[in-house]
Amino acid sequence: MTGAREPSRPLSALGTVVACQANYYQVRLSLESPQPLYFLCTRRARLKKLGQQVVVGDRVLVEEMDWQDQRGAIATIHPRSNLLDRPPISNVDQILLVFALAEPNLDPTQLSRFLVKAESTGIPVTLCLNKRDLLSTTAIDQWQTRLHSWGYTPLLVSVQNDEVLPAALMETLQQRVSVVAGPSGVGKSSLLNRLVPNVDARTNKVSGKLGRGRHTTRHVELFELPTGGLLADTPGFNQPDVTCTVETLMGCFPEIHQRTGRCQFNNCLHRDEPGCGVKGDWERYDHYLSLLDEVLQHQQQLEHSPDAETNEKVKIGSDGQVLHEPKLEAKKYRRTSRRRRHQDLQDMCSDIMDADSIDDLDDAVLEEYGF
């Protein structure tokens, strides 16, 4: 009597790229199974020829599936709903911006810049403030009131002391692809350790000399949450660049939305215009003016150097990071072809034969042939 026949397995399947390393990609398959299935995949040569890069978060079609070794080849990349370049990750549902209330102390200017950078992506932003156990209730209330005037209602946590993380935080992460962002040392990796058991993300203490965190995350990877959803930690950095358009910058400040009806100009910069009802009466107005100058200066540089982007090429490295490399300059002089040299020699001979004497040759002709 023969044994039970093993159920047939598909030759191709859809999945999500959760990690990139060198020329290999870990793909979480979108198949119904008791445990998540992960395949180690390469990229089809056709995608490379077309210049299609694979990044974390991409929804892909895996073919040539070897079920025994759990290997395959990425054949198709589905259209992306969005793409972040720092770090390179696609199809993000929300940005979880994490800051610490203390150690390091919460800097309003730095927080404002991060909020603007996050808002400029067009992806929903959730603000999470860690280390609430280090501040008094009065100080926390003052920060909540202050941030409410900015247009944000932060989630307050203490990653080290909370036995159970707040339900509001768990609900906002459930069944969504979230990217954790924020400066170094605020507890992003520690939060990831709490949310994803056994992830063993590297953490590091805040530098006492510098008063800010050391970088502990080197690459981006999507981790599966026990409650459903995917979460990515990102490398910490302390001063993100803001290079959006003026219109996008205005949309990054909820305070401007609240005051739009007060301004009588449709194209107002809310800076020096007479009769503007937006400027001057809100806390982050100086932050807005400072970033406005940066954005206008950046746009001016682009207008005066339209070919600047052609001087460098953008590529994604083996670790998934975006790299900007200078293009090699084209040679100013090319070696004259043999056919052209032969033709020039014939022309020179013809010019000399047509002249009665060397005095009859034009100076320009003599100069052309090196006399």
Given a cut of 90, is residue 324 above it in pLDDT?
Answer: no
Q: Is 174 left (phi over 0), alpha (psi -120 to 50) or beta?
A: beta
Contacts 24+ apart (CB under 8 A), 68-72: 70/37, 70/38, 70/39, 70/40, 71/39, 71/40, 71/41, 72/27, 72/39, 72/40, 72/41
pLDDT tens figures, 176-196: 999 999 998 899 889 999 998
Question: Please, are residues 201 and 13 in contact by the beta-carbon 8 Å criterion?
Answer: no
Q: How high is the pLDDT of residue 300?
A: 86
- 49-104 pLDDT per residue, tens: 888 999 999 999 999 999 999 999 999 999 999 999 877 899 999 999 999 999 99
Range 269-284 average pLDDT: 85
Which domains occur in the chain, in start order? 13-79 (2.40.50.140), 88-233 (3.40.50.300), 246-325 (1.10.40), 338-368 (no CATH)
What number is the average pLDDT over the span 10-35? 89
* Local structure of 154: helix, strand or coil: coil
| Mean pLDDT over each residue of the chain, to the nearest integer | 81
What proportion of the chain, given as a percentage, has pLDDT over 70? 74
pLDDT at 106 over 50: yes
Q: Which residues contact 203 (CB under 8 A, 6 or more apart)?
A: 189, 190, 193, 216
Nearest to 146, CA basis, from 180, 117, 106, 205:
106
Report pLDDT for 371: 47
- Phi and psi, residue 34, nearest 5°: -60, -35
3-state secondary structure of 99: strand
- Beta strand pairing status for 177-181 and 230-233? parallel
Is the pLDDT assigned to residue 153 strictly greater than 70?
Answer: yes
At 208 the pLDDT is 44
Return d(Cα 112, Cα 252) in angstroms, integer. 10
